[in-house]
Structure 1
């Protein structure tokens, strides 16, 4: 999937205290991203960042520093990209920004260059996304999200193992024995025969409410089907 299509499903958080720049970024970035959230100071909750995919931070903001904001973001969400967009252009600032975050863009900036930089970061982080029916599969991180809301679908460790084993063998029928051996091991396969049914039903309730993806091969096992093929 093209990076432009990926951006349309992602959310960006902007921290910029200049009213003209913040207004411009809100309008400009809205053409590329699913949702743009703009704040002008540190009056926000870090717990609200679960559905933010990339951060664009100024360094000088009221009541705080963009550097400190970045540190706190990276503590909670170490894999989410943070980009500094700032008038601080001294070498020391650039080095500090690149050490704490993922990119550093000095002001004044070219809007199209900004988008190109964001695309590069997001392609590296989210380029392994696959859209399958109503879900988004992050192959690299082994995560699944709702394709409409973008919210993560929580799976237990066992559900995750089953789903991604089916996904790694998409459109291939896997026997119950193959799945059980992969998830629980050969030594425990007899004790987990009934458990597989329970976990498959739980997976269907979470990621396949319409029953299109996870197909039962009667008398044999299961198959994850690419419904778009």
Structure 2
């Protein structure tokens, strides 16, 4: 552990995982890399622990006793603004898609590779802590306003309920309005990894954002899919 940091200055990570050995190994690895870690083995306590501790990041297992990770994620999402990294036991992307639909910001498939987990965590925390750059921190498109300084979006004056990852994607698209962003660009900007041609997380996130910003999911006019390329945010949608 980095002893030069006061415990209160370290990013606090809550791990909700019932596999005791995995949880302890992960805790030891993260503490050695300068994080403060709290363990919770019981899903039944998950919601209360997240909301009371308000950690900087949550690592949440999908399969838990008491209450599963999907349910926990759905219940806390409106009250917990931090990133949620979900652990999935299977490579079937249905688990991953469901997790993203419930509000998870990213996922890592088991068996967990510590370096991969750490890299994903750091990417999520960097996004959360990043300061707005450039002259424009607030964009307006008709009744839609997106404010990167406060990380909030409004539709007709009403605040839109967005997860941290949804806001990041909306801001990236809106700040590049009128230009097609490829999935490769989006993955590189938001997740710091290369697009493998199969990951559906961005598509899931777009499908969740559209109705929230008043875009018709069946005939979108604001965020358009450009076949075989990516997405286009239309200025005058």
TM value normalised by structure 1: 0.50
Q: Which has the higher helix share?
A: 1
The structure having more radius of gyration, on CA atoms, is 1
TM-score by length of 2: 0.48
